[in-house]
C-alpha cells in the first residue's frame, strides 16, 4: 500500500540498453514527469552500433547518438550515452561498472527506471543486472569513483519492454496527454524506423499504439504505460510517478 505521493521536483534516471529503449518503454511517463517539474536524465548504455543492416558501425554510432539526443529534447529531458558497443554489456565488466556507478552518483536520482530481468534482448537482460549491481555499489563509500555516494537505497522500477513479454504491473501511468510527444520522440530514431521497415522486424510504432491502448484499457484511460517494482530492492512507500 502506497502511503504518499510526490507531485514535483524529483530526479529520475532512466537507463536503457540502446538509444531508443527508454523511448519505447516509458517516454510518455517521462514526458509527464518533466511537465510537472521533475528532472529527467535518459541514459543509453550502448551506442547502438549493431542496429542496422546497411550503415557501418561507425556511421550508425554517430547517427544514433544524434537521434537519442533529439528524442530527449522533444520532452525536455537530458541525454547521455556511456558508449559501450552493442552486445558487450556485462555486470562483470569493471569499466562498465565504474562508469554507470559514477553516473548514478553524479545524478543522485530519487528513482531509476530500467529493463526487467525477463526482457528478451540479451543486452536488455545484461543492462538489468548491470543497473542493479551499480545501484548497490553507488551507496557503498568504500567503492570509489569520481562522485560522492548516494544516500540510502534508490528505488528501481522496471519498464515494459519491446518484446512484450508477460508482465504483471504494480503501477500504471496515464500518458494520454503525453502520447503524442512519445511518438514524436520515437520518430527521431529514423535509422531504427527504416531498419524496422525492411521487413526483418515488426512496426514498433504500431506496437506502441496497441500496447499503450491495452494498458490504458486496464486502468480506464485512453493510453497508459505500465511498470513493476524491482523485487530485489526496497519497495518504496511513496508513489514517485505521476
Give me the average pLDDT of each 10-residue run along the chain (242 residues): 56 97 97 98 96 83 96 98 97 98 98 91 95 98 98 94 80 98 95 62 80 97 97 88 96
pLDDT at 7: 52
pLDDT at 6: 53
C-alpha cell at 175: 500518458
**Sign of the C-alpha dihedral, residues 53, 79, 241, 223?**
negative
pLDDT at 84: 98
C-alpha cell at 173: 501511468
The architecture in CATH of the region 4-232 reads 3-Layer(aba) Sandwich (3.40)
pLDDT at 195: 63
Q: Are 31 and 75 in contact (CB under 8 A)?
A: yes
pLDDT at 1: 29
pLDDT at 2: 36
pLDDT at 156: 97
**In the chain, domain spans:** 4-232
pLDDT at 90: 98
Q: Are 48 and 61 in contact (CB under 8 A)?
A: yes
The label of the residue with cell 520515437 reads: 186
C-alpha cell at 35: 511537465
pLDDT at 3: 38
pLDDT at 53: 74
Q: Name the residue among 13, 11, 79, 93 with its Cα closest to residue 48.
A: 79
CA 42-18-110 angle, to 5 degrees, is 30
Judge if pTM exceeds 0.75.
yes
Complete edge-to-edge strand list for the sheet that includes strand 171-174: 78-84, 39-46, 11-16, 111-115, 156-159, 224-229, 171-174
Amino acid at each position: 500500500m502506497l502511503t504518499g505521493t510526490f507531485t514535483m521536483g524529483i530526479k529520475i534516471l532512466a537507463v536503457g540498453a540502446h538509444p531508443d529503449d527508454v523511448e519505447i518503454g516509458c517516454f510518455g511517463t517521462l514526458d509527464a514527469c518533466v511537465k510537472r517539474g521533475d528532472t529527467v536524465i535518459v541514459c543509453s548504455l550502448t551506442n547502438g552500433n549493431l542496429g542496422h543492416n546497411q550503415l557501418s558501425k561507425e556511421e550508425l554510432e554517430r547517427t544514433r547518438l544524434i537521434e537519442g539526443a533529439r528524442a530527449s529534447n522533444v520532452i525536455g529531458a537530458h541525454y547521455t550515452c556511456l558508449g559501450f558497443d552493442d552486445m558487450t554489456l556485462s555486470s562483470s565488466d569493471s569499466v562498465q561498472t565504474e562508469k554507470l556507478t559514477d553516473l548514478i552518483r553524479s545524478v543522485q536520482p530519487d528513482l531509476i527506471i530500467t529493463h526487467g530481468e525477463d526482457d528478451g534482448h540479451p543486452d536488455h537482460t545484461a543492462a538489468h543486472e548491470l543497473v542493479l549491481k551499480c545501484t548497490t555499489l553507488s551507496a557503498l563509500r568504500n567503492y570509489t569513483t569520481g562522485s560522492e555516494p548516494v544516500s540510502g537505497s534508490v528505488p528501481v522500477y522496471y519498464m515494459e519492454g519491446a518484446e512484450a513479454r508477460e508482465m504483471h504491473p504494480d503501477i500504471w501511468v496515464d500518458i494520454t496527454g503525453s502520447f503524442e510527444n512519445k511518438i514524436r520522440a520515437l520518430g527521431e530514431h529514423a535509422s531504427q524506423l527504416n531498419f524496422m521497415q525492411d521487413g526483418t522486424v515488426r512496426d514498433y510504432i504500431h506496437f506502441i499504439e496497441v500496447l499503450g491502448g491495452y494498458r490504458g484499457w486496464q486502468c480506464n484511460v485512453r493510453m497508459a504505460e505500465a511498470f513493476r517494482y524491482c523485487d530485489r530492492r526496497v519497495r518504496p512507500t511513496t508513489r514517485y510517478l505521476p
